[in-house]
A and B are shown apart, each in its own frame.
Chain A
Amino acid sequence: MKLIFEKSQAGRRGGELPHYELPRAKVPDELRRETPPRLPELAEPEIVRHFTELSTRNFGIDTGFYPLGSCTMKYNPRVNERLAMLPGFRDLHPYQDEDASQGALELMWRLQEALIEVSGLHACSLQPAAGSQGELTGLMLMRAYFADRGEGEQRDTIITADTAHGTNPASVTMAGYKLAKVETDARGNVDVAHLREMADERTAGLMLTNPSTLGLFDEHIEEIATIFHEVGALLYYDGANLNAVCGISRPGDMGFDIVHINLHKTFSQPHGGGGPGGGPIVVRDKLEPFLPVPAVVRDGERFRLDHDRPKSIGKVRGFTGPFGVFVRSYAYIRSYGPRLREMSEVAVLNANYLLARLREAYDLPYDRLAMHEFVLSARSLKREHGITALDVAKRLMDYGFHPPTIYFPLVVPEALMIEPTETEAKETLDEFADAMLAIAREAADDPELLREAPHARPVKRLDEVLAAKRAIVQYGFDQHPDLSDARAEPRQLEAQKGA
């Protein structure tokens, strides 16, 4: 379909603005813009049709099953959208006086209390805008905590698991720490013997996801916590997989000191095609003095912002965080209450049921009960039929499903990481399982069908190598490059070589 710029007609516009009879303010010549930006020029009906057409070329949880492992793609209740748009929330300025924003402050305070209860820790900051920013904030807290104890120089290393999300090592570098990686053992747990060798007085902390990205609960979590606490280090919990254990096992009770929670995963903030999200952090009491400012606190019946935190790391985002996300996640938590436990139980039930239906047709690298997600491997399909995890993923699109996460975690070759969530009916799980089984048969009977998939999407399989090579990242208007020439290039080069 055309880009919005290719539909543009000079002089057309979406809407009119009010005009006032006022003296015209003058921009000094050297600062005035002479060449207008080439924004689209369309009437409103064309704008609506353009974006409606774009939406038809997209797939959300509203469209269908979206078992993207580690992303917890659950249904997003619509009442939460309506509530976030209440004028008292939507049109509230963050510098409104505290006496005139008591409802917003109370909502944030209540959300903090709920997250404290779910995580089993003591103090919360809602400020981080995403899980990865929560990670970075957590590492900044470690740095501030050890500096305060006079161990800032000494403790320079963070340990992460080889199954960790890529954000963990990236955050470690951004926080100025050295990285060390602990291996996974044959049962899919952290290799405790290896961990024991690594942890020492130079260790600032461990970053761990539990259940891991393999969808497995670490059976040695108590021992791991003891190892770290004995050397004076801290434990960081990557909360990406919290949906497995709400009301069942709390990170604080497992021994973790800092937790981030992905509000767009466990607590149902719609992810909007890439964001927004929310990454609040919850910490043990000894880390509270270092949390970002301002803190949302309660004084009797009043709520206020506390800026007087002399040991605070500072600010990691503007104001107090993405408030609209808090409205949705708070509403979500209140709609469940203590039944969050059932939410997690059904998520785990659904995952294990799907696993049971698929285990004969795909390789299962770690044969254990899964938590909220599980990882299969397509390595036999690859060895026997030359069919990769990517081919399976693309073929699933033809059956009307969003593919699972593929090629992650890195320790599993040809990985297919499947997370159904609790909001899917058994019939949906069965339809998906039937499709996966059919694809495994197709791999044997008609592998070309899979290699050329998808067949039923608005585009065929896309060339990511070409995109990276040419790096066309904006529309070029009159000089927009023609990629069909680029594709001809290698052949021309070969022809030249031949000559």
Chain B
Amino acid sequence: MLAAIGVSTVEELFRDIPAGVRFGRELDLGPPLSEQELSRHLEELAERNVDSSKELSFLGAGIYDHYVPAVVDTVLQRGELLTAYTPYQPEMSQGVLQAIFEYQTVICELTGMDVSNASGYDGTTVAADACYVAKHATGRTKVVVTEATNPQVRQVVKTYAPGFGLEVVQVPHRGGVTDPDELRRAATDAACVIFQQPNFFGCLEPAPDLAAAANDAEAIAVAHVDPISLGVLEAPGAYGCGMAIGEGQGAGNYQSFAGPHYGFLAARKEFIRRMPGRIVGETLDSAGERGFVLTLQTREQHIRREKATSNITTNQTLLALAGLVHLSWLGPQGLREVGETCMSLAAYAQSRLAEAGVESSFPERTTFKEFAVRTGRNAQDAIRSARERGVHPGYALGRDYQGFDDALLVAVTERRTPADIDRLVEALAP
């Protein structure tokens, strides 16, 4: 090979690299490991984590232990899908392209929107994306986010805002939900209003009233929604939202210490040419047969460069595919049942805890699969003592909300049983 190239050593291939920037020693990375040694090393690291098979977990707060059916693993292990790059050459990539088209359809069905992109990084970055769309669609430079929206979503929006030239205004919660009148006042001159349904506390917001409050101010109403809730809760498109976004993890992805997962972003059709990220569209081949391609690419960075609607290239296609497979396995009936089961189990847990003296933080609110409780002591202490009994009881809300130092956010998915809830009650009872 060297002879064909016309050099005599491999070193010669690097002759364009100036001597001053060559690396003069060996990389200090430890010796190369064989597959067996590597497996042992990583197994040891994995063993030092307490995962949800070792401990009964009620942790949620954005990442959930929903059941992932085996068929998801089966599909994701197909090498033709797993090891493909972005489908730039559609004739080589009809499998992924059709799958994304089907995913887009499923997201539109869930959210009641007209167009979905092929996925965003996670449930936080799609919120920043939505702000960018809203800024350009309205020409306004303020965005409103409710305080009852996931704190990480708010943090990411705040991080992106200076570059986007946006001011971020937060609207406090009142007893666990957002007051539509307060939101209406804040929404004046806003590009968009982002609220979460169910919100971070697990409470059901008066979502149609919140969307109306945004629309009254001609701000785009953006609902941050849980896909697992959308078999029982109304679709954002049906109550006046212009965009619907969310974290897809609960549909098809393992917890995996927070990633990789997928965020979804869907919108009404008037925003289609402002959408960030890949979009797949239907077309015909030269023989008149149906096929799929990446479309509306004049929005994108490789064509529009500095005028693009986003810089996104890599997205989360494989994780979105997992979502498509999971939701196809559930079907409409299964999705409704998952939602109802989570909601019933959570309500049962909430009432059992109240009986045992652990009161809800917002007893008058309807909740979905998560709820906040007052433990009567520092929540970190409550977590520590529950974990000694093999139960992780939830997330300490005091990390994000003042005055909530004794509060725990408890998540109950369909993977928990009534017997598990009995153990939670024992672990938390004063």
| Chain A, 322-342, CB within 8 A of any chain B CB | 322-325, 327, 330-331, 333-341
Chain A residue nearest to B86 in the complex (CB)? A274
Whether A380 sits at the interface, judged by CB under 8 Å, is no
Chain B residue nearest to A26 in the complex (CB)? B366
Contacts of A232 in B (CB 8 A): none
Chain A residue nearest to B207 in the complex (CB)? A31
A88 touches B152 (CB 8 A): no
Whether A273 sits at the interface, judged by CB under 8 Å, is yes
A274 touches B235 (CB 8 A): no
Contacts of A114 in B (CB 8 A): 29
A319 touches B152 (CB 8 A): yes
B159 touches A316 (CB 8 A): yes
| Chain B, 80-116, CB within 8 A of any chain A CB | 80-96, 98-102, 104-106, 108-110, 114-116
B93 touches A59 (CB 8 A): yes
Chain A residue nearest to B120 in the complex (CB)? A129
Contacts of B16 in A (CB 8 A): 216-217, 219, 368-369, 371
A48 touches B71 (CB 8 A): yes
Most interface-central of B160, B300, B305 (chain A CB within 10 A): B305
With A27-B233, A175-B163, A324-B256 known as contacts, the answer to whether A272 contacts B318 (CB < 8 A) is: yes
B108 touches A104 (CB 8 A): no
Most interface-central of A63, A143, A467 (chain B CB within 10 A): A467
A319 touches B258 (CB 8 A): yes
Contacts of A81 in B (CB 8 A): 77, 82
B257 touches A170 (CB 8 A): no
| Chain A, 171-185, CB within 8 A of any chain B CB | 171-176, 179
Q: Which of A193-201, A241-249, A491-499 contacts B (4 or more CB under 8 A)?
A: A241-249
The CA-CA distance from A254 to B110 in the complex, in Å, is 50
With A81-B77, A341-B27 known as contacts, the answer to whether A458 contacts B94 (CB < 8 A) is: yes
Q: Kindly supply a per-residue 1/0 record for chain A positions 77-119, scoring 1 wherever the CB is within 8 Å of any chain B CB and 0 otherwise.
A: 1010111111111111111110011111011000000100110
- Among candidates B18, B34, B52, B328, residue contacting A221 with C-beta atoms closer than 8 Å: B18
Contacts of B79 in A (CB 8 A): 55, 60-63
- Among candidates B80, B101, B340, residue contacting A474 with C-beta atoms closer than 8 Å: B101
Contacts of A273 in B (CB 8 A): 81-82, 84-87, 93, 95-96, 99-100, 317-318, 321
- Among candidates A250, A314, A371, A474, residue contacting B115 with C-beta atoms closer than 8 Å: A474
A393 touches B80 (CB 8 A): no
B33 touches A90 (CB 8 A): no
Chain A residue nearest to B96 in the complex (CB)? A273
Chain B residue nearest to A342 in the complex (CB)? B10
Give the A interface residue count (CB, 8 A). 200
Whether A132 sits at the interface, judged by CB under 8 Å, is yes
Chain A residue nearest to B123 in the complex (CB)? A318
Contacts of B190 in A (CB 8 A): none
A5 touches B102 (CB 8 A): yes
The CA-CA distance from A368 to B314 in the complex, in Å, is 31
Q: Kindly supply a per-residue 1/0 record for chain B positions 257-270, scoring 1 wherever the CB is within 8 Å of any chain A CB and 0 otherwise.
A: 11111000000000
Chain B residue nearest to A251 in the complex (CB)? B21
Contacts of B80 in A (CB 8 A): 55-56, 58-60, 62-63
Interface residues on chain B, size class: 35 or more
The CA-CA distance from A467 to B334 in the complex, in Å, is 34
Contacts of A264 in B (CB 8 A): 314
Whether A391 sits at the interface, judged by CB under 8 Å, is no
A174 touches B65 (CB 8 A): no
The CA-CA distance from A11 to B16 in the complex, in Å, is 66
A94 touches B255 (CB 8 A): yes
A176 touches B162 (CB 8 A): yes
| Chain B, 293-319, CB within 8 A of any chain A CB | 293, 295-298, 300-308, 310-319
Contacts of B280 in A (CB 8 A): 473
Chain B residue nearest to A90 in the complex (CB)? B254
| Chain A, 255-283, CB within 8 A of any chain B CB | 255, 262, 264, 270-279
Whether B348 sits at the interface, judged by CB under 8 Å, is yes
B45 touches A393 (CB 8 A): no
Contacts of A247 in B (CB 8 A): 23, 26-27
Contacts of B75 in A (CB 8 A): 48, 51-52, 55
A90 touches B335 (CB 8 A): no
A169 touches B306 (CB 8 A): yes
- Among candidates A42, A174, A271, A470, residue contacting B281 with C-beta atoms closer than 8 Å: A470
Contacts of A82 in B (CB 8 A): 39
The CA-CA distance from A5 to B152 in the complex, in Å, is 35
Contacts of B41 in A (CB 8 A): 334
Whether B139 sits at the interface, judged by CB under 8 Å, is no
A31 touches B234 (CB 8 A): yes
Q: Kindly supply a per-residue 1/0 record for chain A positions 438-469, scoring 1 wherever the CB is within 8 Å of any chain B CB and 0 otherwise.
A: 00000000000000101001111111101110
Q: Tell me the smallest distance from the CB of A321 to a CB of chain B, in Å.
A: 6
B301 touches A170 (CB 8 A): yes
Chain B residue nearest to A82 in the complex (CB)? B39
- Among candidates A103, A130, A315, A458, residue contacting B46 with C-beta atoms closer than 8 Å: A103
B318 touches A461 (CB 8 A): no
Q: Kindly supply a per-residue 1/0 record for chain B positions 365-377, scoring 1 wherever the CB is within 8 Å of any chain A CB and 0 otherwise.
A: 0100000000000
Whether B137 sits at the interface, judged by CB under 8 Å, is no
A319 touches B303 (CB 8 A): no
B94 touches A58 (CB 8 A): yes
Whether A44 sits at the interface, judged by CB under 8 Å, is yes
B23 touches A120 (CB 8 A): yes
Chain B residue nearest to A110 in the complex (CB)? B45
* 12 sample A-B contacts, Cβ–Cβ < 8 Å, listed by A number: A14-B71, A40-B106, A88-B45, A91-B53, A93-B257, A136-B163, A273-B84, A274-B316, A339-B32, A397-B92, A457-B91, A467-B283
List 5 additional A-B contacts (Cβ < 8 Å) besides A100-B387, A136-B163.
Answer: A42-B328, A167-B301, A317-B121, A340-B29, A348-B10
